[in-house]
Amino acid sequence: MIFTLHIWRQKNAITQGYFEQYQIDVSENTSFLEMLDALNEQLIAHGHDAIAFDFDCREGICGSCSLVINGSPHGKHQATTTCQQYMRDYAEEPELWIEPWRATAFPVVKDLIVDRSAFDSIIQAGGYIAMRTGSATEANTIAIDKDTADEAFDSATCIGCGACVAVCPNASATLFVAAKVSHLSSLPQGKIDTHRTQKMLTEMEQQGFGTCSNYRECERACPKEISISNITNMNKLLYQYK
């Protein structure tokens, strides 16, 4: 399979970026990241700089493989990260435009890599349970009904990849924040901090993310299918304790 690739190249956050065109012939069973590996091998062999892109597990778990492919964060398939896309998925799209997340709060580090430390700042603002727990206790000491446990688990599946930000017209991190708030505030230990929502949303704004306008694109692009019902829950908590 022969593909024409238009890949975003940018040396750092302050230099002007541009699309550079490449061609590559790969097997249909090659994963998207393996295709980029093969391209980098060719570039290095010819004395050119390799394309910088982020990855870690390559198993659809960590969300580090943050690429926008033909305008879609993580690629064309829903509930799937970039590393789990295969070139056979693009058999009808021989020309691919590959670029990084686009958001003021996610400055480009190099080429396809962005700095997502703004998410860390949001977590530091309130994405934790601040209480003395003492020594480890029996896991079932605090009874939690199944519906609550399931709800908390569904929210906790957020991997913080930032696809919700990349797809949002406002570059909002509201779904990310809502998932973290819902996860912690639905549990008995987390309900103690009644100002978590306010603290995290304030930090979100200070980091340069936009606000939610209910486009719902975030829910569609999320590789873990985090529901926007988390945003509803977060807003209830916000106004309940204001």
pLDDT (tens digit per residue) in 84-98: 999 999 999 999 999
Give the domain 116-240 fold.
Fumarate Reductase Iron-sulfur Protein; Chain B, domain 2 (1.10.1060)
CA–CA dist 185, 15 (Å, integer): 42
The Cα 170–Cα 138 span in angstroms is 44
Is the pLDDT confidence value at 136 over 70? no
Residue ranges of E strands in 113-228: 113-114
Q: How confident is the model at residue 239 (pLDDT cuts 50, 70, 90)?
A: confident
104 vs 242, higher pLDDT: 104
Burial code of 85-122, b = ≥16 C-beta within 10 A, e = fewer?
A: bbbebbeeeeebebbbbbbebbbbbbbbbbebebbeeb
**Mean pLDDT calculated for residue range 183-205:** 92
Q: Over 80: is that where the pLDDT of 82 sits?
A: yes
Of 140 and 23, more confident: 23
pLDDT-based confidence at residue 211 (cuts at 50, 70, 90): very high
Q: Which residue has the tokens 């970026």?
A: 17
Q: What is the pLDDT of residues 57-81, one digit of tens each?
A: 999 999 999 999 999 999 999 999 9
pLDDT at 242: 61
Residue 65: the pLDDT is 96
* All residues at 6 or more sequence positions from 207 whose CB lies less than 8 Å from its CB, including other chains: 105, 118, 121, 122, 173
Return the axis-axis angle of helices 174-185 and 117-126, rounded to nearest 10°: 30
Q: How many whole angstroms separate alpha carbon 149 and alpha carbon 155?
A: 10
CATH class of 2-99: alpha beta
> What is the pTM (predicted TM-score) of this model?
0.93
Query: Domain ranges in the chain?
Result: 2-99, 116-240
Which residues contact residue 95 at a Cβ distance below 8 angstroms, ignoring those fewer than 6 apart?
Answer: 3, 4, 6
Dist. CA 149–CA 171, nearest whole Å: 30
Q: Give the distance, in angstroms, between the CA of residue 47 and the centroid of all CA atoms in the same chain.
A: 33
User: Given a cut of 90, is residue 108 above it in pLDDT?
Assistant: yes
Same fold yes or no, 2-99 and 116-240: no
Q: Output the pLDDT for position 196.
A: 94
Percentage with pLDDT > 90 across the chain:
86
- d(C-alpha 22, C-alpha 148), whole Å: 50
pLDDT digits (tens, 9 = 90+) for 213-223: 999 999 999 99
